């Protein structure tokens, strides 16, 4: 009887030990899982406030610097391409046509054999955009410098034209305001204002034509910015996807790791 009771006591204690083992193991596992969650949250916080959590080992500051470097490279390339003779004029993708308001003028002058005046005016509008484009370099540089961390993060993680979208939404009004006097002066320098006056004088010499007015400055600013952003998007996409476009070590590290 005593032997039997001893065996029962031994078996009971053994079961208790096994039970405690599994409970302890379970608690340790739960703690590890909780620790993992806290670690993940910690990484998110580090990512938010500038820590180094990228698999590549790049810090957020390096990513920001690389992105801004990319945008500077892209904007400088676009300005160099469009801010030269025939940068706009002979490029069908960004060539600036006459304003829509002059359609009636165009129709009348074609009929009376004065279409050459319109071609001269259109050429000068493109020349004005070409002269004004280099002035945009400083404005883009300033906009890039003023980008916040949140702006950088959205652009880096966004689509191929995320930076171009950023410039359009955030900088278009101020960029247009800054470019307007430059374009206005350019129109005078290249003779576009005189050409426009000659066109309108010829148009009004035809009897019974309706009155027409066109804002050349706003037209050139709008179309000039369209051309800049068009090629900015292409440059941005190329830097993100084409290793040959990454012209600095930082660009290679940031976009090579992405």
How confident is the model over 169-225, as pLDDT tens digits?
877 887 788 788 888 998 998 899 999 999 999 999 998 888 988 999 999 999 999
Q: How confident is the model at residue 44 (pLDDT cuts 50, 70, 90)?
A: very low
Cα dihedral 214, 79, 75, 184 in deg (nearest 10): -30
What is the Cα Rg of the chain in Å?
A: 33
Q: Under a CB-based contact definition with an 8 Å cutoff, are residues 249 and 48 in contact?
A: no
Exposure string for 59-97, b = 16+ CB within 10 A, e = fewer: ebebbbbbbbbbbbbbbebbbebbbeeebbbebeebbbe
Question: Quick one: pLDDT at residue 243?
Answer: 72
pLDDT in tens, 50-72: 443 344 567 778 888 888 888 88
How far apart, in whole angstroms, are the C-alpha atoms of residue 115 and residue 108? 9
Structure tokens at 90: 């002979």
What separation in angstroms does the CA of 66 have from each of 35, 48, 100, 126, 175? 33, 17, 42, 34, 24
Contact 171, 143 (CB under 8 A): yes
Question: Which one, of 173, 162, 165, lies nearest residue 139 by Cα?
Answer: 173
More confident residue, 23 or 245: 245
User: Could you report the per-residue pLDDT of 135-183, keeping only the tens digit for each?
Assistant: 888 888 888 988 888 888 888 888 989 999 988 887 788 778 878 888 8
- 3 state DSSP class of 56: coil
The verdict on pTM exceeding 0.75 is no
**Separation in Å, CA 88 to CA 2, 79, 187:** 106, 11, 14
Place of tokens 């890039």: 144
Of 27-36, 39-48, 57-66, 124-133, give the range with the top mean pLDDT: 124-133
Spell out the alpha helix ranges (H) of 50-171: 60-82, 103-111, 115-132, 136-145, 149-157, 162-166
Residue-range domain boundaries for the chain: 1-49, 60-257
Alpha carbons 218 and 183: distance in angstroms, whole number:
9
Angular region, 191: left φ>0, alpha ψ -120 to 50, beta rest: left
């Amino acid at each position: 009887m005593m032997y039997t009771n001893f065996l029962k006591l031994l078996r009971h204690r053994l079961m208790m030990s096994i039970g405690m083992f599994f409970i302890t193991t379970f608690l340790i596992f739960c703690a590890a899982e909780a620790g993992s969650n806290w670690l993940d949250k910690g990484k998110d916080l580090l990512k938010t406030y500038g820590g180094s959590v990228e698999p590549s080992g790049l810090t957020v500051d390096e990513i920001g610097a690389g992105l801004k470097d990319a945008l500077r490279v892209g904007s400088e390339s676009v300005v160099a391409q469009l801010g030269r003779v025939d940068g706009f004029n002979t490029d069908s993708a960004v060539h600036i046509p006459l304003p829509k308001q002059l359609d009636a003028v165009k129709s009348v002058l074609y009929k009376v054999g004065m279409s050459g005046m319109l071609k001269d005016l259109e050429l000068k509008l493109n020349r004005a955009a070409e002269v004004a484009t280099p002035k945009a370099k400083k404005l883009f540089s300033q906009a890039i410098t003023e980008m916040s961390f949140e702006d950088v993060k959205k652009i880096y993680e966004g689509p191929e034209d995320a930076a171009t979208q950023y410039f359009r939404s955030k900088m278009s009004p101020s960029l247009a305001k800054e470019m307007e006097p430059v374009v206005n002066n350019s129109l005078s320098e290249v003779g576009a204002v005189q050409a426009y006056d000659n066109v309108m004088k010829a148009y009004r010499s035809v009897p019974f034509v309706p009155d027409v007015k066109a804002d050349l400055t706003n037209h050139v600013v709008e179309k000039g910015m369209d051309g800049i952003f068009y090629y900015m998007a292409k440059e941005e996409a190329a830097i993100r996807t084409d290793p040959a476009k990454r012209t600095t070590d930082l660009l290679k590290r940031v976009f090579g790791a992405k």
